[in-house]
Amino acid sequence: MGFRSDMGVLWHLLSAKAKSGADHQERLEAFYSGQREAYDSFRKRLLHGRERLMELLPLPAGGGTLIDMGGGTGSNLEALGDKINHLERASVLDLCPSLLHVARERITQRGWTNVDAIHGDATQYQPPEPVDAITFSYSLTMIPDWFESILHAYKILKPGGIIGVVDFYVPRKWPDKDRKSGSGFTRTFWPTWFGYDNVFLSSDHLPFLSRRFDPITVEENRGKVPYMLGMKAPYYIFIGKKPLQA
């Protein structure tokens, strides 16, 4: 994977045709089907903080269930290391068949018998039982009703269950206490840039998550964007707990 495969990804990022379709699933499929093989290599340099999220994620000792919502190729599960083998079940849920195809190949190659890949919508999927942990890694910004997917995650988590999110965002001009503020350039440039690819950055994810869940870890950072001359886009990590008395 090198410059040539990067050019294929960049074509999809820049082409309007590669992201059109009659509905959300069709648009995702149009965007990702031609870049599914190069996805992991390119996103490794763009989607920062994913490994850190999975490392920090508190999982129940001796079992438990995890759903990675909008989990794409399932690459995040690699970052769990040996912890994955102790899970009762881990699911990669996604609406895009092409990325799920890669996830299924990974599951087979890895021999993960406790992992499955599910085609579904993060705002609606009903697991057989309430789950212990749910993650969203750079998926909220691609889910039009992102607030609905957080509310839905809240519903299907067990009391005391964990939510972990990493994503791009817009730091507010006047943020909550202890949160970072963003310059006018940051607040206008990055939403416009990513919006072209149907990635919608928001200043409301962090406040919304913080009001629904008891925060455990909140980090705000910046990461380099490939081929953008060292420019860094803002991203956050949020880990929180569903209150026991929900």
Angstrom distance (rounded) from CA 71 to CA 53 = 13
Question: Given candidates 49, 64, 72, 161, which one binds ligand SAM under the rule CB under 6 A?
Answer: 72
List, in sequence order, every residue forming a beta bridge with 118; answer none if it has no partner: 93
Would you say 165 or 206 has its CB closer to ligand SAM?
A: 165
Question: Given candidates 49, 65, 94, 235, which one binds ligand SAM under the rule CB under 6 A?
Answer: 94
Residue 47 binds ligand SAM (CB under 6 A): yes
Question: Given candidates 9, 13, 96, 170, which one binds ligand SAM under the rule CB under 6 A?
Answer: 96
Would you say 153 or 206 has its CB closer to ligand SAM?
A: 153
Region binding ligand SAM by CB under 6 A among candidate stretches 4-12, 90-98, 180-188, 223-231: 90-98
Residues numbered 170 to 199 that lie near ligand SAM (CB under 6 A) are none
Quickly tell me which residue has 């087979």 as its tokens. 108
Residue 220 binds ligand SAM (CB under 6 A): no
Is the CB of residue 134 less than 8 Å from the CB of residue 67? yes
Phi/psi of residue 137, nearest 5 degrees: -115, 105
Quickly tell me which residue has 């074509």 as its tokens. 11
Quickly tell me which residue has 């599960």 as its tokens. 77
Residue 76 binds ligand SAM (CB under 6 A): yes
Question: Given candidates 12, 27, 36, 43, which one binds ligand SAM under the rule CB under 6 A?
Answer: 43
Would you say 94 or 132 has its CB closer to ligand SAM?
A: 94
Helix segments in the chain, DSSP class H: 3-14, 24-32, 39-43, 50-56, 83-86, 97-110, 146-156, 184-195, 205-212
Residue 67 binds ligand SAM (CB under 6 A): no
Angstrom distance (rounded) from CA 35 to CA 8 = 7
CA distances from 72 to 102, 113, 142, 223 (A): 8, 18, 12, 20
HSE-CB of 26 using CA atoms within 13 angstroms = 5
Question: Given candidates 35, 65, 91, 123, which one binds ligand SAM under the rule CB under 6 A?
Answer: 123
Would you say 122 or 233 has its CB closer to ligand SAM?
A: 122
Question: Given candidates 9, 103, 106, 138, which one binds ligand SAM under the rule CB under 6 A?
Answer: 138
Residue 90 binds ligand SAM (CB under 6 A): no
CA atoms 8, 12, 13, 14: torsion sign = positive
Question: Given candidates 53, 143, 153, 233, which one binds ligand SAM under the rule CB under 6 A?
Answer: 143
Contact set with ligand SAM (CB under 6 A): 28, 43, 47, 50, 70-72, 75-76, 93-96, 99, 121-123, 137-139, 142-143
